[in-house]
Amino acid sequence: MRRFFYRRTKMTPHLTSSDPELDRKIRATPAGMMYWAGTCSDPTATCSKCKHFGFSVVQRNDAGNTISVKEHANRCALVWKYTSKIGAVFPGSTPACKYHEARS
């Protein structure tokens, strides 16, 4: 019985999808995005045109002086804002999510 749990095989290889649209969104969305790719009201919008795409984190000391600035290009600022984790790098050509806001 012990050897059964050490195998690295999938336990459910023959399950079918209950929602093909959700499967399509999962495949289209890279890691590090805030929401499903391609859910923006503008179908031509991409992440590179969003104001949340690419950000910098400023580290300050107790007096409020800047110690360092780290640039995070090709990452979503909303993931940082809501999870306090720096998301994975993904291409700017990815279709935009529902939180897309055009750069000014």
For residue 47, give both structure tokens.
Answer: 């992440």
Burial 50-67 (b: 16+ CB within 10 A, else e): bebbbbeeeeeeeeeeee
Q: Is the pLDDT of residue 4 over 60?
A: no
Q: What is the pLDDT of residues 35-88, one digit of tens each?
A: 999 999 999 999 999 999 999 999 999 999 999 999 999 999 999 999 999 999
